[in-house]
A and B are shown apart, each in its own frame.
Chain A
Amino acid sequence: MLPCDSASNARLEALYLSHHAWLRGWLWRRLGCPERAADFAHETFFRVLTRPGTETLEQPRAFLTCIATHLLIDDSRRARIERAWRETQAAVGQVAVPSAEQVVEFIDALERIARLLQGLGERPRKALLMYRLDGMSQADIAAELGVSVSMVKKYVAQGLVHCHRALCNAKHNSIAAL
């Protein structure tokens, strides 16, 4: 929700007017494409303006580039995941071709998972994915990773706790953005 009182609206408008063109230029240099730069600038301002407390930013440009950088990282991760998945699908040659909506939904889900897994160690990540996404048995995972079943249990539990923390952080951020 955008703040309703006119004083803060005026400050947000000032923020937009004094930095929007600059941010678009900053993004243009990085992306090399004016249309995408405009899209990202728009998205960045949307995030910033719908966040409480942004009327009183001390270093608005640093804050804007920080948000924009996060958006760029998310975007490239998403593109990577989507590309990887499409290539995988092309090679699998499945009977049922999912609809465009299903693909978007699925890439969304994968992206969410990738974000939750960020920073988790190599083996716990693998164990958790094999367990949760592939439904492999703990014994099979143990064999594949070359560790004991009790180690697999440890990895998966560790992964769950890690993702729980990531999920909590994400929730706090989205609550703050409301």
Chain B
Amino acid sequence: MTQRLPDSQPPPETPFEQLLSEAAQWRVRLEDDAATDSDHRAFKRWLAISDSHRRAWREIGETWEALGGAQLPGARAALERSHAEERVDARRLLRRTVIGLAILAVLPAAGLWVSNTSLAYWLADYRSATGERRTVKLEDGSVLDMNTATAVDLHFDSARRRIALRRGEVHLRVAADPDRPLEITTEAGAVRALGTRFSVRRLDTPAAGSGSRGAAMRVAVYESHVRLCVASGESCRKLRRGEQARATAAGIAPTEAMAKHSQPAWLQDRMDVLNQPVIDVLEELARYHPGILHYDKQALAGLRVSATLPLDDIPRALDALALALPIRIQAYGRWLLVVSRSEIEAAATVP
């Protein structure tokens, strides 16, 4: 007889719809910069519950991918505009079928909505997606290279050229204009230049306690010179070609000399590593990976590496690291990459 006792029945399965919703929430939570190790551990426990959980996670991952492939400048602006027009079209259709003053009252509101999503509104911002590198030619002839996950706002007028770096890292070839100095600003400070080439990267860390960020930036000069001032304006320093410095709102760290480089390596989708801790390298690579790059800091501590790594293909960069180090790379789809210390480390030394 195969009659089952009531208490031996498996617990009722969670509806798949609900699992999809949970998977989406996990995806969003783990994508956030603020995701912690305990988040990742909790996620692994969730993923381990059943095949259905893993299927939900995979399908949400596929949906995520399906929404990609269009991270070009102007993509969102184009979608928002066409969406707004579609709404207005729908209203026109409504007006045709329904006669009444009430509908006329809707139209000015619809017009307002459209102008809010107008070109000028969206064009104030340039953004690059994670793993994307973009080059934008500005109206003054300056050329702005945006590294991965970068966002800038432009404020150009007849008196000045100001670029607010909201996120990420830029390299700028400034077109000379003696009447309009160019300034790149973050909450930490401002870099002012006339005609030169330099890069600025935000190095924000979550400030302890408060919800605001601990704003910091690093400036590197590749041609001519720039003037770096902290946000309060209390301290300024001239940085020359081949020099770099880190600044917070509180002050500027001592100037350092850069290795001989005429431009940042990321402009060529490359990262040059010289005897650096592998966890620092992984942290840097993670900036370019649109999914999750997970690694155990404790297990990997003490490992150092020298290499030239591709930034446009993170799985390949990790494979290159795995050739040189006792580490193991596991890929769960394209989005989740896990780096762990290889258990067969001893094998490497055995002939």
A interface with B by C-beta (< 8 Å): 77, 80-81, 83-85, 87-89, 91-96, 98, 106, 109-110, 112-114, 116-117, 125-126, 128-138, 140, 149, 153-154, 156-158, 160-161, 163-164, 167
Evaluate contact between B74 and A130: CB separation under 8 angstroms: no
Task: Number of B interface residues at 8 Å Cβ cutoff, please give it.
Answer: 53
A117 to B70, CA, bound (A): 14
Chain A residues within an 8 Å CB radius of B79? 81, 84, 110, 113-114, 117, 129, 133
Interface of A is mostly: helix
Q: How far is the CB of A125 from chain B (nearest CB, A)?
A: 8
In the assembled complex, B83 has its CB within 8 A of some CB on chain A: yes
Contact B67 A128 (CB under 8 A): yes
Q: Which of B59, B83, B139 has most A Cβ within 10 Å?
A: B83
The 4 closest A-B CB pairs, nearest first, are A88-B74, A85-B78, A135-B129, A157-B24
A2 to B126, CA, bound (A): 48
B24-A109 in contact (CB<8A)? no
Could you say which of B28, B63, B75, B137 contacts A93, with CB atoms under 8 Å apart? B137
Give the docked Cα–Cα distance between A77 and B84 (Å).
11
Tell which of A83, A94, A110, A167 touches B75, judged by Cβ atoms closer than 8 Å: A110
What are 28 residue pairs bridging A and B, where the CB atoms are less than 8 Å apart in the complex?
Answer: A80-B82, A81-B79, A84-B79, A85-B75, A88-B123, A92-B73, A92-B74, A92-B123, A95-B137, A95-B143, A96-B135, A106-B75, A133-B71, A134-B125, A134-B129, A135-B129, A135-B149, A135-B151, A137-B33, A138-B31, A157-B25, A160-B63, A160-B64, A161-B24, A161-B60, A163-B63, A163-B66, A167-B63
Instruction: Given A134-B129, A135-B132, decide whether A116 and B78 contact each other with a Cβ distance below 8 A.
Output: no
